[in-house]
Amino acid sequence: MEYAQSGTPPYYTCQKCGRQDVKLWRPYNGFDPDSRLRCALCVGQQENIDVSRMRPDGTVRIDGRWEDLLGGYTPAVPLEDDKEEVVYWGRMSIPRQGLDWWQQLPNW
């Protein structure tokens, strides 16, 4: 995948409801993130977080701060290079372009 291209790769699908072309989150801790991708609505439901006022950048007000870490789920930003196995950036190492790519995706 390339951040400059529009749209999302085929694997970038909510594994619960099947939504595509939206922001997805992955478990913050978990060695099998690819099978547990979740869209904002599914994360909200699962983690009991009200996402109805989510900002366009994917953040929600939690305990007085705007957060994109929703319960145990962090933004799912794939690495740009195409390998057979999909790898996601660690939360603290997402590059600016990757975050831009993620933030411009619709929330739902």
Positions that interact with Zn ion (CB under 5 A): 14, 16-17, 19, 39, 42
- Output the smallest distance, CB 96 to Zn ion, in A: 26
- Nearer Cβ to Zn ion (14/94): 14
- Output the smallest distance, CB 28 to Zn ion, in A: 17
- Nearer Cβ to Zn ion (17/87): 17
Angle at 77 (CA atoms; ends 73, 78), nearest 5 degrees: 125
Q: Closest by alpha carbon to 88, among 100, 97, 98? A: 98
Using DSSP's 3-state secondary structure scheme, residue 100 falls into: helix
- Nearer Cβ to Zn ion (19/26): 19
**Could you give phi then psi for residue 104, rounded to 5 degrees?**
-80, -10
- Output the smallest distance, CB 57 to Zn ion, in A: 19
